[in-house]
Amino acid sequence: MDEQELRSLFSAAPGDAPSPSFDQGDVVRESRRQTVRRRNRITAGVSAAALVVVGFGAYGLLSGGTPESLTAASDNAVSAQSGPGSGQPNPSVARPQAGGESPNFSSTPPQQGGSVDGKTGQLAEGASGCEEVDGELAIALAGELPGHVAAAQASPGSACTTASRSAGFPVPGGEVAAAVYPKGISVAFKSQPAGTVTARVATASGGTLVLVSVPDAANAAPYAGDVGRFASELAPRF
């Protein structure tokens, strides 16, 4: 490449860049203007939303109710604050209602004859006396009797005493009842009608199980031939 070509190339090259039309001060001033504009837009939006809420509130007061939109918004806010990550329990789940009862606790009476007031009901395991049926003994005796016998049909029975656990069932021709006396308690129960068949067997815990078959009038004792077997089957369970 000769000198003439080099001179042509240098002459065709662009000149120096023009000086900038703004400086650092211009950039700072423009940034401040944009910040002020954004703040003004946010303030205007919040003011408009506040006016809408006040308007709906005034409408609710005049109409005697709360607009559904505000109610929904309030419910959503409460739900959001009571969510899994908030650490606060949901009031509708964890707090008692006005009557003092929480929906977490069922008012259904418990099994085995318990009642909502905490008193023992008709069936209660380990119950003694002639006012309550021992649930465990009632279930065991129902399993021994022929046919379909439900534990809910049980009564304390004819063999009950204040010191024994007892249960009895009405059966065709009379009643079959059992009583379990604890170890060291002597067997003593009310006199039975004529024709009653009785069996006594020692229990596994050292007590005594008494089983009676009481006939109705003019009938033989029901399951008279099986009374001893029933007692022998029940005694090892107590």
pLDDT tens per residue across span 115-136: 333 333 355 556 778 889 999 9
In this structure, how many other beta carbons lie within 10 angstroms of the beta carbon of residue 214? 24
State yes or no: pLDDT of 63 exceeds 90.
no
* % residues pLDDT > 70 (the chain): 62
Whether the pTM exceeds 0.85: the reply is no
One-character DSSP codes across 13-50: S--PPPPPS--HHHHHHHHHHHHHHHHHHHHHHHHHHH
Reported as a pLDDT band with limits 50, 70 and 90, residue 50 is: confident
State yes or no: pLDDT of 94 exceeds 70.
no
Hunting for tokens 């079959």 — which residue is that?
A: 176
State yes or no: pLDDT of 52 exceeds 60.
yes
Highest mean pLDDT among 16-20, 128-132, 215-219, 231-235 belongs to 231-235
Query: What's the confidence (pLDDT) of residue 112?
Result: 36
Q: Which two tokens stand for residue 101?
A: 């009862």
For residue 212, what are the β-bridge partners?
177, 198
Query: Which range has the worst mean pLDDT, 51-55, 60-64, 125-129, 138-142?
Result: 60-64
Q: Which two tokens stand for residue 117?
A: 């007031």
How far is 175 from 212, CA to CA, in rounded Å?
A: 8
**Dihedral of alpha carbons 74, 77, 82, 87, sign:** negative
Question: Strand ranges (DSSP E) for the chain?
Answer: 165-171, 174-181, 197-202, 208-215
